[in-house]
Chains A and B, each alone.
Chain A
Amino acid sequence: MRGVFPFAAGLAIMLAAGWVGFPYAIYKSRPQPVDFSHKVHADKAGAKCEDCHAFRADGTFAGEPTLDKCSSCHAAAMGSTLAEKNFIDRYVTPGREPEWESYARQPDNVFFSHIAHVKRAKIACETCHGNHGSSDRPRAYQEDRLSGYSRDIWQVGERAKTTRASMTMNGCVDCHRQQGLSQSCLDCHK
């Protein structure tokens, strides 16, 4: 027993450090610039995903909506929440674009075609992005200090409620393989 103790101690300490300490240390967390409630917009405003996250005529995906989309309704306060007041004061009035952090941001050399997945493969938004769309508050954005990418790419976490897919290259390749699609490097890289 005594002979095993140092080994076990070392093992236990590093396991704890690796599984608990490391994720805590490697990620830098910050909140989104606006305390945006998807739930409120879906329920009260009756908005669907594609109302704000739209495709353009040439098939490219507009991603996060720009300020003019929000200003079209929120030029003046529509409710009485502090979050909306802050938004109008900090962004609408001075005409400044909110600096949204994208949970799904991919490296610059990745070409991901939303329209191929949404329109052709008919994949639901939740399959890859999780249940963002029904959240009441945006999750804090957790960024890996070394690589600069979001924890969401790796971690299944919150998204595990609707998907087990990660957004790393392996995640894409696995699904493509299952669907029997041809995978060539240039299909997804630029």
Chain B
Amino acid sequence: MIGPNKNIRAARYGMTIDVDRCSGCGACMVACAVENNVPPANPKATDRTGLTWIRVYKIDNGLPYPETRSAFVPVLCQHCGNETPCVHVCPQQAVEVDPATGVVGEMPQRCLGCRYCVAACPYHARYFNWWDPKWPAGMEKTLNPDVTPRMRGVVEKCNFCHGRWHAAKQQAAADGKPDTEPVEYTPACAEACPTKAIRFGDLNDPASEPAQAAKNGESFRLLEKLDTGSKIYYRSKREWVRQIANAPHPAASGKESFHG
């Protein structure tokens, strides 16, 4: 459903995540769930069947104790800009790349739940609602009106906090700003991060931190070899972190399951 743009100055929203600053606290995971009406886990849910639009994984340098050193890597939808895998495989066209913002927008309302996209996403950043969402009695009063809750049987994922983007656009209209300019806003995870490891901005704006990180040779993206055009630029001074980001070897059955 992408139509022609007027003279809109297109944004490409992206992020830079400093792995050396991430403490693995999980504030981003909680803030995301609160903002996007992600329900608490079903009693039968595990780390494979849960809904964690952003998930912090723990990785380590592969050495045994006491030489082990760890790092924490928050992984969310990378909003791939090149040959977006999930968009390619969806039979329903329930996900699309918005040319005006670069955001890969998931429409749970349109999804029929085939889970092809969950398999296609190389970052495991898409989540299927195996159960109907259930909040404890009364907690539904705390739901965010800017994001609609999903029913079971559909896939959901990070949309770079579209509820906040809508609110920013409304505020811009109220302030009389022209609609040809992209709006500035902060997603919940970036706002909540205590160490400011996650920073959000417009990659098309050279002054923004993500844009500067993109140009910086020290930044890396996850699974760079797949050339997905990810918009999330990670940074770390540690070489073993950069190595793992490119998944040099397939998941060893025992090792990977111990982490994150």
A: residues with CB less than 8 A from B are: 55, 57-60, 108-109, 111, 113, 115-116, 119-120, 173, 176-177, 180-187, 189-190
Contact = CB atoms under 8 A, between A and B. Distances in A.
Given A113-B169, A183-B1, 11 more contacts: A58-B171, A116-B169, A116-B170, A116-B173, A116-B179, A181-B6, A182-B100, A183-B2, A184-B98, A189-B107, A190-B148
B31 to A, nearest CB: 18
B148 A59 contact: no
B108 to A, nearest CB: 8
Interface of chain B: mostly helix, strand, loop or mixed: loop
Contacts of B173: 59, 113, 115-116, 119-120
Given A115-B170, A116-B170, A189 B1 contact: no
Contacts of A60: 170
A180 B101 CA distance: 17
Q: How large is the interface on B (under 10, 10 to 19, 20 to 34, 35 or more residues)?
A: 35 or more
B109 A109 contact: yes
Contacts, number: 87
A75 B2 CA distance: 51
Nearest to B103: A186
Contacts of B99: 182, 184
A144 to B, nearest CB: 18
A145 to B, nearest CB: 21
A190 B161 CA distance: 10
Contacts of B209: none
A149 to B, nearest CB: 15
B24 to A, nearest CB: 30
B170 A173 contact: no
Contacts of B244: none
B137 interface: no
A176 B171 contact: no
